[in-house]
Structure 1
Amino acid sequence: MTVEELAVDHGDLALGGFELDFYHDGVRRRRPLGAGWNIRFEQAPPVRPFDWSKGGTSFAGWYYSVTNADHVGYESWLERDRLILLDADPEVRGIASQPFWLHWHDGVRRRRHAPDYFVRLADGRGRVIDVRADDQIDDAAAQAFEASQRACRSVGWEFARVGVPDPVLMANMRWLARYRRRRCGDRRDVADELLRVFGQPTPLRAGACSVGDPLLVLPVLFHLLWMGVLAADIGTQLLGSDSLVHAAKVAGR
Protein backbone atom coordinates (compact mmCIF):
# COMPACT_ATOMS: atom_id res chain seq x y z
CA MET A 1 0.00 0.00 0.00
CA THR A 2 1.41 3.40 -0.97
CA VAL A 3 1.64 6.29 1.45
CA GLU A 4 -1.14 8.07 -0.47
CA GLU A 5 -3.38 5.00 -0.23
CA LEU A 6 -2.54 4.66 3.46
CA ALA A 7 -3.45 8.31 4.01
CA VAL A 8 -6.80 7.88 2.28
CA ASP A 9 -7.46 4.60 4.09
CA HIS A 10 -6.91 6.24 7.47
CA GLY A 11 -8.63 9.46 6.47
CA ASP A 12 -5.66 11.52 7.57
CA LEU A 13 -3.59 13.38 4.98
CA ALA A 14 -0.96 14.06 7.64
CA LEU A 15 0.48 10.64 6.84
CA GLY A 16 1.54 12.00 3.46
CA GLY A 17 1.59 15.71 4.25
CA PHE A 18 4.46 15.43 6.71
CA GLU A 19 7.94 14.05 6.11
CA LEU A 20 10.55 12.75 8.53
CA ASP A 21 14.23 13.52 8.03
CA PHE A 22 16.51 11.38 10.21
CA TYR A 23 19.59 9.19 10.51
CA HIS A 24 19.19 5.42 10.36
CA ASP A 25 22.12 3.01 10.36
CA GLY A 26 24.41 5.98 9.82
CA VAL A 27 22.60 7.11 6.66
CA ARG A 28 20.53 10.29 6.35
CA ARG A 29 17.03 9.40 5.16
CA ARG A 30 13.85 11.30 4.36
CA ARG A 31 10.49 9.58 4.21
CA PRO A 32 6.80 10.48 4.34
CA LEU A 33 5.46 10.25 7.90
CA GLY A 34 3.26 7.31 6.98
CA ALA A 35 6.29 5.33 5.80
CA GLY A 36 8.78 6.29 8.51
CA TRP A 37 6.84 6.44 11.77
CA ASN A 38 7.87 2.91 12.86
CA ILE A 39 11.61 3.70 13.06
CA ARG A 40 12.97 3.28 16.59
CA PHE A 41 13.58 6.97 17.06
CA GLU A 42 14.51 6.49 20.72
CA GLN A 43 17.81 5.16 19.31
CA ALA A 44 18.29 7.84 16.66
CA PRO A 45 21.22 10.29 16.83
CA PRO A 46 20.50 14.03 16.77
CA VAL A 47 19.75 15.47 13.33
CA ARG A 48 21.60 18.70 14.04
CA PRO A 49 24.59 19.65 16.19
CA PHE A 50 24.29 21.40 19.52
CA ASP A 51 25.60 24.93 19.93
CA TRP A 52 28.74 24.73 22.09
CA SER A 53 30.00 28.27 21.34
CA LYS A 54 31.19 30.37 24.27
CA GLY A 55 29.06 33.39 24.96
CA GLY A 56 26.04 31.88 23.22
CA THR A 57 22.50 32.13 24.49
CA SER A 58 22.02 28.37 24.89
CA PHE A 59 23.47 26.07 27.54
CA ALA A 60 24.20 22.84 25.70
CA GLY A 61 25.55 19.76 27.38
CA TRP A 62 25.38 16.00 27.78
CA TYR A 63 23.38 14.26 30.49
CA TYR A 64 24.18 10.67 31.40
CA SER A 65 20.88 8.80 31.30
CA VAL A 66 20.65 5.60 33.32
CA THR A 67 17.63 4.71 31.19
CA ASN A 68 19.77 4.70 28.04
CA ALA A 69 23.05 3.82 29.75
CA ASP A 70 24.44 6.57 27.53
CA HIS A 71 24.60 10.34 27.21
CA VAL A 72 21.69 12.39 25.84
CA GLY A 73 22.16 15.95 24.61
CA TYR A 74 20.33 19.07 25.74
CA GLU A 75 20.43 22.73 24.73
CA SER A 76 19.17 24.51 27.85
CA TRP A 77 18.86 24.04 31.60
CA LEU A 78 15.13 23.59 31.04
CA GLU A 79 15.80 20.70 28.65
CA ARG A 80 18.32 19.25 31.11
CA ASP A 81 15.72 19.34 33.88
CA ARG A 82 13.21 17.58 31.64
CA LEU A 83 15.81 14.89 30.93
CA ILE A 84 16.18 14.29 34.66
CA LEU A 85 12.42 13.85 35.03
CA LEU A 86 12.26 11.51 32.04
CA ASP A 87 15.21 9.51 33.33
CA ALA A 88 13.45 8.98 36.65
CA ASP A 89 10.13 7.98 35.07
CA PRO A 90 9.69 4.17 35.36
CA GLU A 91 7.48 4.19 32.25
CA VAL A 92 10.29 5.54 30.04
CA ARG A 93 12.45 2.96 28.26
CA GLY A 94 14.42 5.11 25.83
CA ILE A 95 15.16 8.80 25.19
CA ALA A 96 16.61 10.53 22.13
CA SER A 97 17.24 14.23 21.64
CA GLN A 98 16.32 15.98 18.37
CA PRO A 99 15.72 12.62 16.65
CA PHE A 100 14.30 13.96 13.39
CA TRP A 101 13.26 16.97 11.36
CA LEU A 102 9.54 17.12 10.74
CA HIS A 103 8.85 18.77 7.35
CA TRP A 104 5.53 20.16 6.14
CA HIS A 105 4.00 22.95 4.07
CA ASP A 106 1.82 25.43 5.96
CA GLY A 107 0.03 26.67 2.84
CA VAL A 108 2.45 29.55 2.36
CA ARG A 109 5.92 28.10 2.69
CA ARG A 110 7.82 24.97 3.62
CA ARG A 111 8.45 24.52 7.34
CA ARG A 112 10.52 22.19 9.46
CA HIS A 113 10.86 21.52 13.16
CA ALA A 114 13.13 19.26 15.21
CA PRO A 115 11.36 18.23 18.44
CA ASP A 116 13.49 18.20 21.57
CA TYR A 117 12.93 14.56 22.56
CA PHE A 118 11.46 11.29 21.40
CA VAL A 119 10.60 8.89 24.21
CA ARG A 120 9.70 5.20 24.05
CA LEU A 121 7.35 4.07 26.80
CA ALA A 122 7.16 0.67 28.48
CA ASP A 123 4.02 -0.32 26.57
CA GLY A 124 5.66 0.48 23.22
CA ARG A 125 4.02 3.87 22.65
CA GLY A 126 6.06 6.77 21.32
CA ARG A 127 5.96 10.26 22.80
CA VAL A 128 7.31 13.41 21.19
CA ILE A 129 8.26 16.17 23.62
CA ASP A 130 8.99 19.84 23.05
CA VAL A 131 10.39 21.87 25.94
CA ARG A 132 9.54 25.56 25.99
CA ALA A 133 8.56 27.92 28.82
CA ASP A 134 5.07 29.39 28.49
CA ASP A 135 6.38 32.93 28.08
CA GLN A 136 8.83 31.90 25.33
CA ILE A 137 6.29 30.62 22.80
CA ASP A 138 6.01 32.95 19.82
CA ASP A 139 3.70 32.49 16.82
CA ALA A 140 6.23 30.40 14.89
CA ALA A 141 6.77 28.04 17.83
CA ALA A 142 3.04 27.74 18.48
CA GLN A 143 2.46 26.80 14.83
CA ALA A 144 5.29 24.26 14.97
CA PHE A 145 3.87 22.66 18.11
CA GLU A 146 0.40 22.53 16.57
CA ALA A 147 1.75 20.86 13.44
CA SER A 148 3.78 18.41 15.52
CA GLN A 149 0.72 17.47 17.53
CA ARG A 150 -1.28 16.78 14.38
CA ALA A 151 1.53 14.68 12.90
CA CYS A 152 1.90 12.68 16.11
CA ARG A 153 -1.84 12.08 16.39
CA SER A 154 -1.95 10.65 12.87
CA VAL A 155 0.52 7.87 13.72
CA GLY A 156 -0.54 7.17 17.30
CA TRP A 157 2.29 8.98 19.05
CA GLU A 158 1.65 11.16 22.05
CA PHE A 159 2.74 14.79 21.90
CA ALA A 160 3.54 17.02 24.86
CA ARG A 161 4.78 20.58 25.07
CA VAL A 162 6.19 20.98 28.57
CA GLY A 163 7.35 24.10 30.36
CA VAL A 164 9.03 24.96 33.64
CA PRO A 165 8.60 22.18 36.23
CA ASP A 166 7.62 22.84 39.83
CA PRO A 167 10.72 24.37 41.50
CA VAL A 168 10.52 22.29 44.69
CA LEU A 169 10.09 19.03 42.81
CA MET A 170 12.92 19.95 40.45
CA ALA A 171 15.30 20.90 43.26
CA ASN A 172 14.71 17.51 44.86
CA MET A 173 15.09 15.63 41.58
CA ARG A 174 18.36 17.40 40.76
CA TRP A 175 19.67 16.25 44.12
CA LEU A 176 18.48 12.67 43.72
CA ALA A 177 19.88 12.55 40.18
CA ARG A 178 23.35 12.70 41.72
CA TYR A 179 22.65 9.18 43.01
CA ARG A 180 20.97 7.79 39.89
CA ARG A 181 23.80 5.50 38.84
CA ARG A 182 23.35 1.88 39.81
CA ARG A 183 26.65 1.76 41.67
CA CYS A 184 25.04 3.90 44.38
CA GLY A 185 22.71 1.00 45.18
CA ASP A 186 25.27 -1.81 45.05
CA ARG A 187 25.12 -2.40 48.82
CA ARG A 188 22.23 -4.88 48.82
CA ASP A 189 22.57 -5.47 52.58
CA VAL A 190 22.20 -1.74 53.27
CA ALA A 191 19.26 -1.46 50.86
CA ASP A 192 17.44 -4.35 52.53
CA GLU A 193 17.94 -2.80 55.96
CA LEU A 194 16.69 0.58 54.74
CA LEU A 195 13.54 -1.05 53.40
CA ARG A 196 12.99 -2.64 56.81
CA VAL A 197 13.61 0.59 58.73
CA PHE A 198 11.38 2.63 56.46
CA GLY A 199 8.57 0.09 56.52
CA GLN A 200 6.80 2.83 58.46
CA PRO A 201 7.25 6.59 57.83
CA THR A 202 10.50 7.60 59.52
CA PRO A 203 12.59 10.80 59.44
CA LEU A 204 15.26 10.52 56.76
CA ARG A 205 18.40 11.04 58.79
CA ALA A 206 17.22 9.14 61.87
CA GLY A 207 16.38 6.13 59.73
CA ALA A 208 19.70 6.30 57.90
CA CYS A 209 21.70 6.56 61.14
CA SER A 210 19.89 3.54 62.57
CA VAL A 211 21.25 1.48 59.66
CA GLY A 212 24.88 2.59 59.92
CA ASP A 213 27.39 5.29 59.03
CA PRO A 214 25.43 8.00 57.15
CA LEU A 215 28.36 8.48 54.74
CA LEU A 216 27.80 4.91 53.55
CA VAL A 217 24.04 4.68 54.01
CA LEU A 218 22.76 7.97 52.54
CA PRO A 219 23.92 7.31 48.95
CA VAL A 220 21.98 4.05 48.99
CA LEU A 221 18.95 5.78 50.52
CA PHE A 222 18.97 8.53 47.87
CA HIS A 223 19.37 5.93 45.12
CA LEU A 224 16.31 4.08 46.42
CA LEU A 225 14.38 7.36 46.43
CA TRP A 226 15.45 8.01 42.84
CA MET A 227 14.34 4.51 41.85
CA GLY A 228 10.98 4.90 43.58
CA VAL A 229 11.63 1.98 45.93
CA LEU A 230 11.48 4.47 48.81
CA ALA A 231 9.17 7.47 48.72
CA ALA A 232 8.92 10.90 50.32
CA ASP A 233 6.98 14.09 49.73
CA ILE A 234 9.33 15.56 47.13
CA GLY A 235 6.65 17.58 45.38
CA THR A 236 5.92 20.13 48.12
CA GLN A 237 8.88 20.01 50.51
CA LEU A 238 12.65 20.09 50.07
CA LEU A 239 14.31 16.91 51.19
CA GLY A 240 15.96 17.27 54.58
CA SER A 241 16.90 15.42 57.72
CA ASP A 242 13.30 15.49 58.98
CA SER A 243 11.64 14.43 55.73
CA LEU A 244 9.44 11.41 56.30
CA VAL A 245 10.53 8.48 54.14
CA HIS A 246 8.65 5.23 53.66
CA ALA A 247 8.78 2.15 51.50
CA ALA A 248 6.82 2.69 48.28
CA LYS A 249 3.86 0.45 47.51
CA VAL A 250 5.05 -0.04 43.93
CA ALA A 251 8.78 -0.19 43.26
CA GLY A 252 10.27 1.67 40.33
CA ARG A 253 12.72 0.17 37.88
Structure 2
Amino acid sequence: MGQSRDAACPRPARVVSWTFRFDAGPQVWDWTTGPPDVPALRSIRAPRSTEKSRHIPVQAHSVTLDGPIRLESGLEHDLVRELDRDPDVVWMVSQPARLALSTANRRSRVHTPDLLVLGREGAVTIWDVRPVERQDEKFVESRDLTEAACGEVGWGYRVYGGGSPVRRDNVRWLTAYRRVMPWYPAARDELLRICRDPGATVGVVLDADRGAGHLVSAMWHYAWIGALVVDLDQPIGRTTPIRALRDVP
Protein backbone atom coordinates (compact mmCIF):
# COMPACT_ATOMS: atom_id res chain seq x y z
CA MET A 1 0.00 0.00 0.00
CA GLY A 2 1.52 3.32 -1.09
CA GLN A 3 2.28 6.25 1.19
CA SER A 4 0.01 9.27 1.22
CA ARG A 5 1.36 12.50 -0.36
CA ASP A 6 1.72 14.10 3.08
CA ALA A 7 3.74 11.17 4.36
CA ALA A 8 6.00 11.03 1.30
CA CYS A 9 6.55 14.80 1.11
CA PRO A 10 6.75 16.45 4.53
CA ARG A 11 5.12 19.83 4.77
CA PRO A 12 7.44 22.83 4.60
CA ALA A 13 8.95 23.51 8.02
CA ARG A 14 7.78 26.60 9.84
CA VAL A 15 9.72 29.25 11.67
CA VAL A 16 9.99 28.63 15.39
CA SER A 17 10.85 32.19 16.34
CA TRP A 18 12.26 35.52 15.17
CA THR A 19 14.73 37.38 17.39
CA PHE A 20 15.40 41.06 16.69
CA ARG A 21 17.81 43.44 18.35
CA PHE A 22 16.78 46.92 19.45
CA ASP A 23 18.70 49.58 21.36
CA ALA A 24 17.60 47.89 24.59
CA GLY A 25 18.90 44.49 23.41
CA PRO A 26 17.62 41.33 21.68
CA GLN A 27 13.97 40.33 21.86
CA VAL A 28 12.08 37.26 20.68
CA TRP A 29 9.27 38.84 18.71
CA ASP A 30 5.58 38.15 19.32
CA TRP A 31 4.01 38.55 15.87
CA THR A 32 0.50 38.57 17.34
CA THR A 33 1.24 42.19 18.30
CA GLY A 34 2.09 43.06 14.69
CA PRO A 35 5.45 43.58 13.00
CA PRO A 36 8.36 45.33 14.75
CA ASP A 37 9.21 48.98 14.18
CA VAL A 38 11.59 48.26 11.32
CA PRO A 39 13.73 51.44 11.49
CA ALA A 40 14.34 50.66 15.18
CA LEU A 41 16.03 47.34 14.35
CA ARG A 42 19.75 46.95 14.93
CA SER A 43 22.11 44.24 13.64
CA ILE A 44 21.61 41.05 15.62
CA ARG A 45 25.35 40.36 15.45
CA ALA A 46 28.58 42.11 14.53
CA PRO A 47 30.47 40.43 11.65
CA ARG A 48 33.81 39.01 12.73
CA SER A 49 36.76 37.55 10.88
CA THR A 50 38.78 34.50 11.93
CA GLU A 51 41.66 32.57 10.41
CA LYS A 52 39.21 30.24 8.69
CA SER A 53 36.81 32.95 7.47
CA ARG A 54 35.99 33.04 3.78
CA HIS A 55 35.36 36.80 3.88
CA ILE A 56 36.65 39.89 5.62
CA PRO A 57 33.99 42.10 7.27
CA VAL A 58 33.89 45.69 6.05
CA GLN A 59 32.22 48.92 7.07
CA ALA A 60 30.77 50.43 3.91
CA HIS A 61 29.15 53.80 3.31
CA SER A 62 25.48 53.71 2.29
CA VAL A 63 23.91 56.67 0.53
CA THR A 64 20.49 55.43 1.66
CA LEU A 65 21.56 55.55 5.30
CA ASP A 66 23.88 58.53 4.80
CA GLY A 67 26.24 56.61 7.03
CA PRO A 68 28.07 53.31 7.55
CA ILE A 69 26.73 49.79 7.35
CA ARG A 70 28.69 46.74 8.51
CA LEU A 71 28.84 43.93 5.94
CA GLU A 72 30.30 40.44 5.96
CA SER A 73 31.55 40.20 2.38
CA GLY A 74 32.32 42.02 -0.82
CA LEU A 75 29.24 40.42 -2.38
CA GLU A 76 27.06 42.05 0.28
CA HIS A 77 28.77 45.34 -0.60
CA ASP A 78 27.83 44.77 -4.25
CA LEU A 79 24.20 44.33 -3.23
CA VAL A 80 24.21 47.46 -1.07
CA ARG A 81 25.56 49.49 -3.99
CA GLU A 82 22.72 48.20 -6.17
CA LEU A 83 20.11 48.98 -3.49
CA ASP A 84 21.56 52.45 -2.91
CA ARG A 85 20.63 53.24 -6.52
CA ASP A 86 17.01 52.13 -6.04
CA PRO A 87 14.78 55.17 -5.32
CA ASP A 88 12.24 52.88 -3.63
CA VAL A 89 14.71 51.85 -0.89
CA VAL A 90 14.57 54.16 2.13
CA TRP A 91 16.35 52.16 4.86
CA MET A 92 18.33 48.97 5.44
CA VAL A 93 20.07 47.02 8.18
CA SER A 94 22.54 44.14 7.98
CA GLN A 95 22.18 40.86 9.91
CA PRO A 96 18.63 41.97 10.83
CA ALA A 97 17.25 38.94 12.67
CA ARG A 98 17.94 35.48 14.01
CA LEU A 99 15.49 32.84 12.82
CA ALA A 100 15.08 29.61 14.74
CA LEU A 101 13.87 27.15 12.13
CA SER A 102 12.72 23.55 12.09
CA THR A 103 13.85 21.54 9.07
CA ALA A 104 11.79 18.91 7.27
CA ASN A 105 13.36 16.19 9.44
CA ARG A 106 12.48 18.24 12.56
CA ARG A 107 16.03 19.34 13.27
CA SER A 108 16.60 22.81 14.67
CA ARG A 109 18.50 25.32 12.59
CA VAL A 110 19.45 28.92 13.33
CA HIS A 111 19.71 31.27 10.36
CA THR A 112 20.71 34.93 10.22
CA PRO A 113 19.77 36.62 6.92
CA ASP A 114 22.20 39.15 5.49
CA LEU A 115 20.08 42.24 4.95
CA LEU A 116 16.66 43.78 5.59
CA VAL A 117 15.40 46.51 3.27
CA LEU A 118 12.49 48.89 3.83
CA GLY A 119 10.69 50.29 0.79
CA ARG A 120 9.12 53.72 0.38
CA GLU A 121 5.60 52.29 0.73
CA GLY A 122 6.49 50.22 3.80
CA ALA A 123 7.25 46.90 2.10
CA VAL A 124 9.97 44.86 3.83
CA THR A 125 12.34 42.51 2.01
CA ILE A 126 14.77 40.08 3.61
CA TRP A 127 17.89 39.28 1.57
CA ASP A 128 20.32 36.38 1.69
CA VAL A 129 23.61 36.81 -0.15
CA ARG A 130 25.45 33.79 -1.54
CA PRO A 131 27.45 33.27 -4.76
CA VAL A 132 25.55 31.05 -7.17
CA GLU A 133 28.29 28.42 -7.14
CA ARG A 134 28.05 28.15 -3.32
CA GLN A 135 24.28 27.73 -3.10
CA ASP A 136 24.51 24.14 -1.89
CA GLU A 137 21.80 21.84 -0.59
CA LYS A 138 21.97 23.20 2.96
CA PHE A 139 21.69 26.79 1.72
CA VAL A 140 18.74 25.90 -0.52
CA GLU A 141 16.96 24.34 2.44
CA SER A 142 17.59 27.42 4.61
CA ARG A 143 16.52 29.62 1.70
CA ASP A 144 13.20 27.82 1.33
CA LEU A 145 12.54 27.85 5.07
CA THR A 146 13.36 31.56 5.32
CA GLU A 147 11.20 32.42 2.32
CA ALA A 148 8.28 30.54 3.91
CA ALA A 149 8.86 32.30 7.23
CA CYS A 150 8.89 35.71 5.55
CA GLY A 151 5.73 34.87 3.63
CA GLU A 152 3.95 33.98 6.87
CA VAL A 153 4.52 37.51 8.23
CA GLY A 154 3.90 39.37 4.97
CA TRP A 155 7.52 40.15 4.18
CA GLY A 156 9.31 39.57 0.89
CA TYR A 157 12.41 37.44 0.46
CA ARG A 158 15.14 37.45 -2.18
CA VAL A 159 18.55 35.92 -2.79
CA TYR A 160 21.44 37.85 -4.35
CA GLY A 161 23.96 35.66 -6.11
CA GLY A 162 26.02 38.45 -7.63
CA GLY A 163 26.09 40.17 -10.99
CA SER A 164 28.52 39.95 -13.88
CA PRO A 165 32.05 41.35 -13.41
CA VAL A 166 31.22 44.02 -15.99
CA ARG A 167 28.16 45.20 -14.07
CA ARG A 168 30.04 45.17 -10.76
CA ASP A 169 32.80 47.35 -12.21
CA ASN A 170 30.32 49.74 -13.83
CA VAL A 171 28.35 50.23 -10.61
CA ARG A 172 31.58 50.73 -8.68
CA TRP A 173 32.55 53.43 -11.18
CA LEU A 174 29.23 55.21 -10.71
CA THR A 175 29.63 55.25 -6.91
CA ALA A 176 32.29 57.94 -7.37
CA TYR A 177 29.47 60.24 -8.53
CA ARG A 178 26.87 59.52 -5.84
CA ARG A 179 26.92 62.96 -4.27
CA VAL A 180 25.08 65.90 -5.80
CA MET A 181 27.53 68.65 -6.80
CA PRO A 182 26.63 72.36 -7.16
CA TRP A 183 27.03 72.40 -10.94
CA TYR A 184 24.69 69.48 -11.66
CA PRO A 185 21.50 71.59 -11.82
CA ALA A 186 23.21 73.91 -14.31
CA ALA A 187 24.06 70.91 -16.52
CA ARG A 188 20.56 69.51 -16.31
CA ASP A 189 18.88 71.11 -19.32
CA GLU A 190 21.76 70.44 -21.69
CA LEU A 191 21.98 66.80 -20.58
CA LEU A 192 18.25 66.34 -21.12
CA ARG A 193 18.45 67.85 -24.58
CA ILE A 194 21.33 65.58 -25.57
CA CYS A 195 19.97 62.36 -24.05
CA ARG A 196 16.47 62.76 -25.45
CA ASP A 197 17.92 62.41 -28.95
CA PRO A 198 17.43 58.80 -30.15
CA GLY A 199 21.06 58.70 -31.28
CA ALA A 200 22.55 59.93 -28.00
CA THR A 201 25.70 58.16 -26.81
CA VAL A 202 28.24 58.65 -24.05
CA GLY A 203 30.59 60.01 -26.71
CA VAL A 204 28.10 62.73 -27.67
CA VAL A 205 28.05 63.91 -24.05
CA LEU A 206 31.86 63.79 -23.86
CA ASP A 207 32.13 65.93 -26.98
CA ALA A 208 29.52 68.43 -25.75
CA ASP A 209 31.45 68.83 -22.48
CA ARG A 210 34.46 70.26 -24.36
CA GLY A 211 36.81 69.38 -21.51
CA ALA A 212 35.06 71.42 -18.83
CA GLY A 213 34.01 68.31 -16.90
CA HIS A 214 30.60 69.56 -15.77
CA LEU A 215 28.54 67.52 -18.24
CA VAL A 216 30.62 64.37 -17.83
CA SER A 217 30.43 64.24 -14.04
CA ALA A 218 26.73 65.16 -14.12
CA MET A 219 26.11 62.38 -16.65
CA TRP A 220 27.64 59.78 -14.31
CA HIS A 221 25.69 61.09 -11.33
CA TYR A 222 22.38 60.96 -13.14
CA ALA A 223 23.26 57.48 -14.42
CA TRP A 224 23.87 56.49 -10.78
CA ILE A 225 20.39 57.58 -9.69
CA GLY A 226 18.80 56.07 -12.80
CA ALA A 227 17.60 59.28 -14.40
CA LEU A 228 19.91 58.61 -17.36
CA VAL A 229 20.11 55.02 -18.54
CA VAL A 230 23.09 53.13 -19.89
CA ASP A 231 23.36 49.35 -20.10
CA LEU A 232 25.45 48.53 -17.03
CA ASP A 233 25.76 44.90 -18.10
CA GLN A 234 27.94 45.93 -21.04
CA PRO A 235 31.31 47.73 -21.10
CA ILE A 236 30.77 51.49 -21.31
CA GLY A 237 32.52 53.35 -24.12
CA ARG A 238 31.99 56.30 -26.43
CA THR A 239 29.46 54.38 -28.54
CA THR A 240 27.33 53.29 -25.56
CA PRO A 241 23.74 54.52 -26.02
CA ILE A 242 22.38 56.79 -23.28
CA ARG A 243 18.84 58.01 -22.79
CA ALA A 244 16.71 59.93 -20.33
CA LEU A 245 14.39 57.50 -18.55
CA ARG A 246 12.58 60.18 -16.60
CA ASP A 247 12.95 63.83 -15.80
CA VAL A 248 16.31 64.70 -14.30
CA PRO A 249 15.92 66.30 -10.84
Normalised by the size of structure 2, how large is the TM-score?
A: 0.83
What is the aligned counterpart of 1:188 among 182, 185, 188? Answer: 185
CA distance in 2, matches of 1:132, 1:152: 18
CA distance in 1, matches of 2:221, 2:51: 34
* Deviation readout 1:146-185 (Å, 9 max, x if unpaired): 21111101011111122121333222112112212234x6
* Deviation readout 1:117-172 (Å, 9 max, x if unpaired): 11112221111110112221233322221211111010111111221213332221
CA distance in 1, matches of 2:34, 2:175: 32
Normalised by the size of structure 1, how large is the TM-score?
A: 0.82
Secondary structure, counterpart of 1:202 in structure 2: coil
Partner of 1:103: 100
Report the CA distance between 1:212 and its aligned residue: 4.6
- Asked if structure 2 preserves the Cα contact closer than 8 Å seen for 1:133 and 1:164, the reply is yes
What is the aligned counterpart of 1:62 among 55, 59, 62? Answer: 59
Structure 2: state its 5+ residue gaps: 1-11
Task: After TM superposition, list the pairs within 5 Å mapping 1:73-92 onto structure 2.
Answer: 73-92=70-89
Partner of 2:4: none
- Asked if structure 1 preserves the Cα contact closer than 8 Å seen for 2:17 and 2:99, the reply is yes
Partner of 1:170: 168
Worse overlay, 83-92 or 99-108:
99-108
**1:143 to 2:141 alignment:** yes
Report the CA distance between 1:80 and its aligned residue: 1.1
**1:93 to 2:90 alignment:** yes
- Asked if structure 2 preserves the Cα contact closer than 8 Å seen for 1:208 and 1:214, the reply is no
Worse overlay, 72-81 or 220-229:
72-81
CA distance in 2, matches of 1:209, 1:117: 42
C-alpha spacing 1:207/1:137, structure 2 compared with 1 (3 Å): closer
CA distance in 2, matches of 1:140, 1:155: 23
What is the aligned counterpart of 2:69 among 64, 67, 72? Answer: 72
- Asked if structure 2 preserves the Cα contact closer than 8 Å seen for 1:176 and 1:223, the reply is yes
CA distance in 1, matches of 2:111, 2:88: 26
Task: After TM superposition, list the pairs within 5 Å mapping 1:46-57 onto structure 2.
Answer: 46-52=43-49, 56-57=53-54
RMSD: 2.6
Worse overlay, 199-208 or 65-74:
199-208
C-alpha spacing 1:213/1:120, structure 2 compared with 1 (3 Å): same
CA distance in 1, matches of 2:185, 2:206: 15
- Asked if structure 2 preserves the Cα contact closer than 8 Å seen for 1:131 and 1:161, the reply is yes
Paired residues, number: 236
What is the aligned counterpart of 1:159 among 145, 157, 160? Answer: 157
Give the % identical residues: 25
Partner of 1:241: 238
Structure 1: state its 5+ residue gaps: 1-11
CA distance in 2, matches of 1:122, 1:91: 5
C-alpha spacing 1:150/1:171, structure 2 compared with 1 (3 Å): same
